[in-house]
Each structure stands twice: as structure tokens, then as C-alpha cells.
Structure 1
Amino acid sequence: MHCTHRLPLLLAGLLLLSHSQLVQASQDTSNQTYTEFSPNQTYTEFSQSNISSYQIASGNANFAFRLYHLIASQNTRQNIFFSPLSISFALAMLSTGAGGDTQTQILEGLGFNLTKLSLPEIHEGFRLVQHRLSHPSTSTEPSIKVGNVLILSQDLQLLSDFVSATKASYDSKVLLSNFRDTEATTRLINNYVKEKTHGKIRDLVSGLSPNERMVLVNYIFFQGLWKKPFPSSEGFVADFYVDENTVVKVPMMLQDDQQHWYLDDRYVPCTVLRMDYKNDAVAFFILPQKGKMKEVEQMLSPDIQVGPWGLSTSQKVSLQFPKFSISNSYALDEILPYLGFQDLFTHHADFSHINQDEKLQLSKVFHKAVLEVNEVGTEAAASTAISVMFFSKPKKRVLVFNQPFFAVIYSTSTQNILFMGKVFNPTA
């Protein structure tokens, strides 16, 4: 009778938009306690000329909005911020080691129709997304870094096909650790993620058990610089109206002479502002009309197209936008079962494509994301409605983000949502 071991899955999403240059992480590796595992196996990549990263975009969007609404239902009066793409990357990578109903459950839970997309097409789609994000064709600015790593027990023998598949499709690295030394393994994981996210994601995991056998980590690091930055000399402190009874003071940024894309939606009671980065991303901010926050939130769905085609004209606006930083952590093992991932955390889970000698079971899924917004750069944005019209006005429009709003960061080259959330209280 096989012994069941727990398999934690960790995800780290990050947005950094603070300086014009990346903060360099420490290169001192003298205290590292791991060795890197380099498999000798070869893997023949699936490749087909008509496959592109766009094929998985609709599935990723479906998953992103379903996850958002579930989190929002449990956090009605709190900030929300996460990277749906980071979570999809890690779960899709995990599916390469799953078999039978478990694999189907993961892929369908991620929003993929397996009658329209084959398993090789899905993995190839993720490979192309990661490649495009990490190797932009035109931008010379620091952009997006996506990575995956497997941390496994020193005595766990992975099947060669699993190692080869995760390497080929997800460019994953493999690190070895002594899981019986939970303190050292926790330090290894947290230091690795901290380094890869330039110090912005700290203490991702805690409370590991000696029974853990493998940890999967995905991280996304995004640094975007505004094409039209805010002048630092124009800042001031203003009121932010969290709700009818709560008002907080926030540092507010001001732009008074720049053109931006925006629209007043005819069917959803909100205004949508688009701001462009110098690299492969745009930010959308959705500002609900007063008292319409819940109504707008309920209407957010994949049918509301998130993309640059939603706004066709730009004009000068007087823009007031808060400068802030928020951080959110989620125990996704408590959330994913409600999205169709029922068996992953039970003894019914089948990860026999990872290792056939032990019965592996998923135990924990951590996700942490950080959002920073300032004059030089920002992340976050909003999506627009299906049926919208842009209203061009002869006078300069005044847009003041002094109440809760939604945010989405969107990759133009892959048509995927990188980050999304709700800024309910920028001081919380």
C-alpha cells in the first residue's frame, strides 16, 4: 500500500513599477543550500505552424474572471490583487504530471475546452506565451520575467518524461532540497522567489511539513514605465472615499496636459481609462459611477473585452490618480475546489506521471501579488464592455480616481491578462 505524500504548489505574482531601472538582487549565493538537477533526457517538443499563444487566451480569461468573482465574494470590502496568468502557468505545468481524471479536471478548471484544444496545443500555447513575455520583439525597456521552478526532495525520483515536458514547455528549473529540514527548505523557497522578484515577494511560504515531497513555484515579475509619466512636482494629498462612512488621505498624482484613451460606457455605469506602458502592456482602470461599485463588479466577465481595440479615440484629460502600494496573499487550496478542482487535494488525485513509486497529493497552493503605482510607472488597469461607444467631448475631461476602482494589466502581444484586482482602500 502506497504512502501518500503531500505536494504543495506555490505561486508568486508581482508587479513593480517604482524606478526606471530594476533593483539588482544580491548575487551572494554562499548560503544557498540546494544543488541544481540537470536531467540527461531529451524531449521532442510539439510544434505546429498554426499554433499560437492566442489559442489559450480565451481559456485564461475565463479562469481569471471566475477566480476574481470567487475571491470577491469572500472579500467584499477588501483590496483584491492577483496574477491569473501566474496561477494558470503553475497549474498547467502541474497537469503534465497528472493522469486520468485529475489531468482533465485541471485543464477544464483552467477554462480549456479539450474538444477544441489538444493537450499538446495547450502546453505549446503556454510555452509561446512565456517566450513572448520574456523576449519582447520591440521593447528595449525592462518588461516581464516569467519563470518556473520545481523544488523536490533529494530522494524523490521524477519520471524523465515529466522533467522533459516541464522543461520543454515551461522552461522549469529543478532544485534539490532536504524536506526533513523544513526551516532550510522554507528559506530556500522564499530566498529563490525573493531573488527572482527583486525583493518584492517575501515570505511566500511558511509552515511546510516534513512530509512534503515537491514544491512547484511560478513567478511573474513585471516592471512597466509609463509612456506618459506623471510629473513628480504636481503631487498633493487628497481624500479617497472608501465608502459612505470611510474617508482616507492618499498622495495623489496629477496630469493636466496629456492625451489618454478613455470611454464612458453606455451600458455599464463606469468610466474606463487606458494608460500605455513603454513595453508590451497596457493598463486599464475602471472607475464605477458613485454607488455602482457592486453593479459594475457583477458585470465583469470575459464577454467584456479587455483589449486595446475597445478604445478608438484619445483626447486630453485632467487626471488625478492615487499613488499607493498594496499586497495580497491567497491560500488557493481553499479556493480552487470551488472552481472545479475537486480531487486535487484528496486521495483521489492522480500524479502518477510525476512519480510512480509514491502516492502524491496536493496539499497547499499559495499565491502572493504586490502592486505598486507611482509617477514613473504603474501596473493595473481595467476592462471595457462588449457594447461601448466613445464620446468625444470638445472640453478637457476631468477624471478623478478618488473612490474604489478596478484594475487590469493586459499583455498586448499575447492577449492575456497578467494581473487584475480591485483597489478598495489604497492605504490598507
Structure 2
Amino acid sequence: MRRAPRLLLLLLGLLALTRGARGQADGPPGGPGAEEEGAPSLRIAPSNAAFAFNFYHLVAALNPGSNVFFSPLSISAAYAMLALGAGADTRAQILEGLAFNLSDTSAPDIHRGFQHLLLTLNRPRGSLETRVGSALFLSQALTPRPGFLNRTAAFYGAQPFPADFLDPEAAARLINSRVREETHGKIDSVVGSLGADTAMVLVNYIYFKGRWKSPFGRSRTTPQDFHVDQHTVVKVPMMFQEQDSHWYLHDRHVPCSVLRLDYQGGARALLVLPDTGKMAQVEAVLMPGMLHRWSRLLQKRYRHRHRAYFRKLWLYLPKFSASGSYNLDELLPQLGIQDLFTRRANLSGIAAQDNLLVSKSVHKAVLDVDEAGTEAAAATSLSVTFFSAVHNPRILKFDRPFLLAILSADTQSILFLGKIVNPTQP
């Protein structure tokens, strides 16, 4: 039996809080470049958020007690782009697995939404740098359809590169060099060995580099305890702020505190700190509607009603690095994308060759959080009451496992999503 040509997907997410250049102008949230109601990117935002939490719950269930960190946007964009070359049944599986309802949103609207989303995210924004892109490394034996190359370039900005997979080491060097360049060296090597039957390697990356609007003072960072669980305590460099006001809430009905930290340029982080021992209860209600509710409440237009809770806060947050690596060909079939990784795959829109299938799909994400910022090469009707911690009304200390989401305010997109169980784990 003739061996099927292989298609390899490499999806990379880099998020970094870092020492960005100083003195650059930053557009305010909602300023130039902010999305208008009805923009194509906003139409796909609910589905992208739904996929983010579907994937989170899957990975968290399979990796209890471990850090989780990934870029849902990188995964969604790469697979939506791949759907451009898929036949009807395979295409429907891909898009529905990404949480799109094809009765409500047509495939052309999905691609137009990603086109607008990527163009918006890639706009220059002063000291906030967000870049999302794709590259196609094509075997000389593959005859790609011009329509596929044109559409992937037009909607997703994908760049094609010839690669000689008959020389696997040279092909790996080419791909790794490109990845290293696009991720500013944050991810040095993603390809170890490639088979001579590889037909195409698709690489998608997202790189985020932002500075906190209110940086932490480096001289205030000290080693402190972080309680991984009731039996495990590790030492972490704990950052500290006491002079800046922050938006935060404690949800009476969901046992957690939620903090919003803004980046210069319009992006923001939401950090969710479950009450001691309550991570499972918080994860149980973690869904797009809950994230939207927290985000909506933690906005300036609510300040006049909850003035006392935009206040100076003794804030403790670990300085740490985290990463995630996931074999999507093993995970996505559990979300309904099944045929793509088997001989039932119909990828006839990519090339004239038959038997093309995805043999391997890898997603990697890296996160660095420090005093200056971040660098990375990731509904219920419950009522909310804002109130202070009982024992000390001005202390919020992330000294136990917490959840983290990095959001693009303009596009209402989740760039990265994760759970930090142990900040000392790389």
C-alpha cells in the first residue's frame, strides 16, 4: 500500500511580559484601531472563546496538577486556514470542532473574520507588540493548488517556502531558523526529525510582548512561599505593588478573586485566584460567559457605582516562566476533528495528490512574566458582589494556583489561556 504523504502542523504561542522599549506612544483602549460593532472579527469572537474553553477543559482534565498554557487563537487560526484546503465533510468537522455553528456563520464569513482579526492584531501599537503569522513549507514533490496558496495568503497571510524533505536535516534547519526569527529566539527548535514522505509543514505563530501600565518595582521582589497544594510549598520570586490602584472583585457565588492588569497599548490580563482549595469549583464554571461577565464588570464605566473597589492594593504576583506543549493530533479528535488525522481525510483542496493527511500536529506556548511586563513567543446569571478580603482589605496575594487569560481588548479575543499550578515548573 502506498504510504500517504504527511502534513505536519506546528503551532507556536509566545507570550512575554518583558522590558520593552521605553518612551513609545501607546494608543488607548478603544482608540484608533478599536473594533466597531459588527466588525468581521467580532462575529467570530464567541466561537473562538468557546473553543478556547473547550480545549482548556480537555487539557486540564488530562493533566491534573500540572500547569496549562496555550494560545487558542494560534490553534483556531491554523486549523481554520487548513479548512480552506479540506473537502466538505473534513471541512465541516474542522470548523465545527473549532466551535463554529455553520448554520449561523458561513465558512466565508469565518475566513473573513480571521482576516480582519489578524490584520487588527498585527497593527503597530507602540510598546505593545502582537504578531500572528503562518508559513507553509512545501515539498518539491507536492503540487499545491494555486487557489489554496492564494486564499491562505489573502486571509491568513501565510507565506510559502520550498523545502527539500528528501534532506530532512536541511528541511528541519530551515523551519527552525524561520521559527527562531519570528519568535525573537524564544522558541529555538520545534522540528527534530522529519520523514522523507513529508509533503508540507504548516507553522503558525503568535508573539506577544507587552509592558504593564503599572510596572512592579524590581527592588520589591523577594523570595516567598507558593502553596502548590496542601502538601507542597515552593519558593518563588514574588513581585509586590502597594502604590497603584487596580480593578478587582471577589465573586460571592464563585469562590475566587479576579484582578485586571492592563498593558500599555490596550491589551489586558485577567488573573483569577480561587479561594484556597476551590480551584475545581472555579474551573467548573469557567466558560466564555463567565469570562465576559468578569471583564464587563472590571471596566471603567462601572467605577461610579463601585468607586470604593478601584483602590490601592497590596498586590503580590509571582515572577515566573511557564510553557505548554500539546500533541493536537491526539487531542482534537476528542473535540470532533477526527477524519483529518486518518486516511478518511479529504485535503484535496491543498494539492492534486491524493492520500494527504495530517500525521502530526504540535502546539507549543511559552510565557515569561516579570516586573516590567509579559513576553511569549496563549454564561450564568450569578450575581456578583464586590467586597474586600476579610482579614486584610488591601491584600491580594497570588501564592497558590491561579488562572490566567491574556486578552486583546480591541478584538475581544483570548490570545493566551492557562493555569499556573507551580510557577517553578518551566
* TM-score, L = length of structure 2: 0.89
Are positions 1:20 and 2:20 aligned together? yes
Partner of 2:33: none
Of 400, 409, 414, the residue aligned with 1:412 is: 409
Compare 251-260 and 382-391 and name the one that shifted more. 382-391
Partner of 2:187: 201
Residue 50 (structure 1) shift? 5.5
Are positions 1:157 and 2:147 aligned together? no
Residue 70 (structure 1) shift? 0.5
Percent identity, aligned pairs only, is: 50
The one-letter code matched in structure 2 to 1:93 is: M
**1:9 match: secondary structure:** strand
**1:303 match: secondary structure:** helix
Partner of 2:171: 185
Of 137, 147, 166, the residue aligned with 2:152 is: 166
Alignment of 1:216-365 (within 5 A): 216-306=202-292, 308-311=295-298, 312-313=302-303, 314-365=310-361
Partner of 2:53: 65
8 Å contact kept, 1:11–1:217 = yes
- Inter-CA distance 218–14: structure 2 relative to 1 (3 Å threshold): same
d(CA) in 2 for partners of 1:171 and 1:213? 20
d(CA) in 1 for partners of 2:89 and 2:399? 47
d(CA) in 2 for partners of 1:8 and 1:102? 17
d(CA) in 1 for partners of 2:415 and 2:229? 28
Of 113, 124, 127, the residue aligned with 2:101 is: 113
8 Å contact kept, 1:287–1:405 = yes
8 Å contact kept, 1:12–1:217 = yes
Identify unmatched segments of 5+ residues in structure 2. Answer: 23-36, 304-309
Residue 378 (structure 1) shift? 2.8
Once the two structures are superposed, what CA deviation does each residue of 1:252-296 show, in whole Å capped at 9, x if it has no partner? 111011100100012110000000000231001000001101111
Residue 5 (structure 1) shift? 1.1
d(CA) in 1 for partners of 2:296 and 2:163? 47
8 Å contact kept, 1:18–1:373 = yes
- Inter-CA distance 51–238: structure 2 relative to 1 (3 Å threshold): closer
**2:166 match: secondary structure:** coil
**Pairs aligned (count):** 399
Alignment of 1:358-377 (within 5 A): 358-377=354-373
Identify unmatched segments of 5+ residues in structure 1. Answer: 23-48
Residue 400 (structure 1) shift? 0.6
Once the two structures are superposed, what CA deviation does each residue of 1:192-236 show, in whole Å capped at 9, x if it has no partner? 111101011122222321111001111000001000000111111
Of 387, 394, 404, the residue aligned with 1:391 is: 387
- Inter-CA distance 327–384: structure 2 relative to 1 (3 Å threshold): farther
Are positions 1:52 and 2:40 aligned together? yes
Residue 303 (structure 1) shift? 2.1
d(CA) in 2 for partners of 1:364 and 1:298? 31
* TM-score, L = length of structure 1: 0.89
8 Å contact kept, 2:287–2:379 = no
d(CA) in 2 for partners of 1:281 and 1:289? 26
Are positions 1:421 and 2:407 aligned together? no
d(CA) in 2 for partners of 1:4 and 1:328? 29
Once the two structures are superposed, what CA deviation does each residue of 1:362-384 show, in whole Å capped at 9, x if it has no partner? 1111111111110000379x999
The one-letter code matched in structure 2 to 1:114 is: L
d(CA) in 2 for partners of 1:356 and 1:177? 18
